[in-house]
Amino acid sequence: MTVPALLAQYLHICPDVMTVVKIFLFLPLLCASVLLHAQQENYDVFNPIGKYIVKGDADCLSAWFDESVDISVSSRQGSTSKAQARQIIKSFFSNHTPQSFNITHLAEKADMKYALGSLNAGGELFSVTIFIRSKGEEYRIQQLKIERL
């Protein structure tokens, strides 16, 4: 005899009621699975990146950098290695402590994503532009611009 049948017999529940009980036990699991899948599909790559910018965390932010990054921060601009870009951002954050960062515009096309934001750091306002490209299942920052307003 199966476990549900034994349970139904023990609880003196008719098989039809037991079917309803199974549905109500299974339904929340199904809903949670569907919601989790939907969240993964709608994952916003700019959420963690924005958090690292507002924290001034150059190490975590640079984990999103591609091997070569086009960067424009203060007077430094050009194509740099991931390590050089990390040092440039670290220097910027040490001179301009972030207080707030807000993404004001998002766009995407094919495997590219784009965000514009405003950064309040060190008592000054900056415009931030981020270009990201997907590489397989990962996203990598291709270009980062931080310009004084």
The DSSP bridge partners found for residue 125 are 120
What pLDDT is attached to residue 43?
60
Q: Under the phi-then-psi rule, with left for phi > 0, alpha for psi from -120 to 50, and beta for the rest, what region is 141?
A: beta
The DSSP bridge partners found for residue 78 are 71
Digit-coded pLDDT (tens) for 31-89:
444 333 333 444 688 999 999 999 999 999 999 999 999 999 977 889 999 999 999 99
What pLDDT is attached to residue 114?
93
What pLDDT is attached to residue 65?
96
For the chain, the structural domain boundaries read 3-41, 46-148
Task: Say which DSSP state 28 is in.
Answer: H
**What value does the mean pLDDT take over residues 124-137?**
92
- Decide if 128 contacts 117 (C-beta within 8 A): yes
- Decide if 63 contacts 139 (C-beta within 8 A): no
Q: From 3.30.230.70, 3.20.20.70, 3.10.450.50, 3.30.40.10, which CATH number describes the 46-148 domain? A: 3.10.450.50
Where are the extended beta strands (E) located within the chain? 65-73, 76-81, 98-109, 112-121, 124-135, 138-148
- 147 vs 149: CA distance, rounded Å: 6
